[in-house]
Amino acid sequence: MPVFTLAEIAEHIGGELQGDPNVKITNVAEIDKAKAGEITFLANPRYREYLANTGASAVIIDAKAGVTPAIPYIQAIDAYYGFLKAFLLFNAPKKMLEPGVHPSAVVHPGARVGRDSAIGANVYLGANVQVGERCQIFPNCVILDDSSLGDDCILYPSVGIRENCRIGSRVIIHNGAVIGSDGFGFAPYQGKFHKIPQVGRVVIEDDVEIGANATIDRATLGETVVKAGAKLDNLVHLAHNVTVGENTVIAAQTGISGSTKIGRNVMIGGQVGTVGHIAIGDRVQIGAKSGVRKSVGDDEIIFGSPARPIMKTKRIEAALNSLPELLKRVKKLEEALGK
């Protein structure tokens, strides 16, 4: 494990050091578990109570913390991001696969693999597949005909990418995710559901991360699109023809119905569900377990099922909590009126 002085860490994260610059740091740690020789951070005010008793040798804070630690500290513009940069000093990403094609991989003669990319055991690359440079494709991944990956992508084991999908650069896709499965399209006729061929594709832009067992359906016609910088958690489902805007984050077990358009910098909590054919504006925040049944304008914060502006939902919840007592009072009034 490398060792850095506080001065070196402060310079690396672009923070202002207060205290002994020669203190040696051997690792990073959470504020309530840190030991001597480790550096921690304070970004969430709820953890402020741990600061006085932390065993860390130093802490990263930001101006909003409103505290002056008794131990040496680095004041950063954003303590959480500063800690991330410090974390990477001690935990640099490692390539787990050696460049080259494993002997058990099946690579179509028409497929192309870029320089320094690694193709793991039992991987299948179909006709006209294009893999960029420095990609890591782990065992048992499948990429079907005419799909492409940009540079520096990571596909963890058992990822499936169907035909004619486009994946940008620096995309990370975790175990078991499926990109380009058929959209849920059927035409009811004479008591039966007849499958509508799904002939569109999925486009994943640069710097997207997709969690384990997420599923992104191909478009019926046209494209299902996840734009640059978006992050999808485990078990997220995007139906056919959905668009997810730049730098939007979607937490686990959320399902987005077909043809819904989501703006940029949106934050969606876990287990959210939406109806189809609606638009969600930029910078919207949607609380966990919400059911979104109509379009949402820019900068709104909504919560509940059905989802409403968050303060309205809180007032409704408060009224519901008072309902048993209110019913008792009504019953007493009815009895008094009856007499």
Q: Residues 269-322: pLDDT tens digits?
A: 999 999 999 999 999 999 999 999 999 999 999 999 999 999 998 898 888 888
Confidence grade of residue 92 (pLDDT, cut at 50, 70, 90): confident
Residue with the two structure tokens 């939902």: 313
Instruction: Please give the pLDDT value at position 72.
Output: 96
Residues classed as catalytic: 240
Q: With a threshold of 0.85, does the pTM exceed it?
A: yes
Judged against a pLDDT cut of 90, whether residue 64 lies above it is answered with no
Instruction: Please give the pLDDT value at position 44.
Output: 83
Please, what is the angle between helix 6-13 and helix 79-90, to 10°?
120
Query: Mind listing the domains of the chain with CATH numbers?
Result: 4-90 (3.40.1390.10), 101-310 (2.160.10.10)
Confidence grade of residue 228 (pLDDT, cut at 50, 70, 90): very high
Give buried/exposed letters for 238-277 (b at 16+ CB in 10 A, else e).
bbbbbbbbbbbbbbbbbebbbbbbbbbbbebbbbbbbeee
Judged against a pLDDT cut of 90, whether residue 34 lies above it is answered with yes
Q: Give the C-alpha separation, 33 to 173, whole Å.
A: 31
